[in-house]
Amino acid sequence: MERNQTLNTIFDRASYRGRYKDEPVPREDMKLILKAGLAAPSGCNRQTTSLVAVDEPALLEEIRRIFPKPSCQTAPALILVFTQKIASIDGRFYHVQDYGAAIENMLLAMKSLGYDTCWYEGNVRSCANELAALMGAPEETELVCVLPVGKAAEELHRVSKKAFEERAWFNGYGR
């Protein structure tokens, strides 16, 4: 079977933590990236994920002060991912799965448009409330992730991963 662009995007994507080029991200591209995030499925279609894109220089500066991750210092735009814990029909919560899928869609949309990014989640926890307040987000939402958006100015470094045979099999676990 031949590969296609979607598969190439999936296989070429890698987390980028370097500097970004000083080039603004056009609003048209940002909107496509946000729409890609919103196009992800969600448990019982609860659509628990919401997004704020930031490209205003003064606001970017404030975020960079609160969340001083090196690669966010040079990124010309950021996307802040919010979730809302809404119960599904079965009473369970699928909001983490929902934003996981939405973020993955945005990572791929960015890659396909020539941008690189990194999924910052654990690092965001300590300043999530401050960033959410700055955005004017309602109390029932939670800021869970920050994604830089921009053109990479450095090379991508790929993490090494386990072999296929250690994580996937046919017709039985570990076969």
By the rule CB under 8 A, 165 interacts with a copy of itself:
no
The per-residue b/e assignment along 85-98, b for 16 or more CB within 10 angstroms, e otherwise, is: ebebeeeebbbeeb
Query: Which residues ranging from 40 to 99 are in contact with a copy of itself (CB under 8 A)?
Result: 40-41, 43-45, 47, 49-56, 59, 82, 88-90, 92, 94, 96-99
By the rule CB under 8 A, 162 interacts with a copy of itself:
yes
User: In the bound complex, what is the minimum distance in angstroms from residue 22's beta carbon to a copy of itself?
Assistant: 19
Q: Measured from the CB atom, is 155 or 162 closer to a copy of itself? A: 162
By the rule CB under 8 A, 140 interacts with a copy of itself:
no
Residues that bind a copy of itself (rule: CB under 8 A) add up to a total of 83
Classify strands 77-84 and 49-54 as parallel, antiparallel or unpaired.
Answer: antiparallel
113 with 92: CB under 8 angstroms? Answer: no
DSSP H/E element including 79: strand 77-84
Query: Which residues ranging from 27 to 46 are in contact with a copy of itself (CB under 8 A)?
Result: 27-32, 34-41, 43-45
Q: Measured from the CB atom, is 41 or 70 closer to a copy of itself? A: 41
By CB neighbour count within 10 A (0-12 exposed, 13-18 middle, 19+ buried), where does 157 fall?
exposed
Instruction: Report the candidate in 75, 93, 91 with the shortest Cα–Cα distance to residue 83.
Output: 93
Q: Measured from the CB atom, is 20 or 83 closer to a copy of itself? A: 83
Q: Measured from the CB atom, is 75 or 107 closer to a copy of itself? A: 107
By the rule CB under 8 A, 100 interacts with a copy of itself:
yes
Q: Measured from the CB atom, is 44 or 152 closer to a copy of itself? A: 44
Where does 39-159 have alpha helices with state H? 57-66, 70-74, 95-112, 128-135
User: In the bound complex, what is the minimum distance in angstroms from residue 172's beta carbon to a copy of itself?
Assistant: 5
Q: Measured from the CB atom, is 21 or 35 closer to a copy of itself? A: 35
Helix, coil or strand: residue 145: strand
Q: In degrees rounded to 5, what are phi and psi of residue 80? A: -105, 130
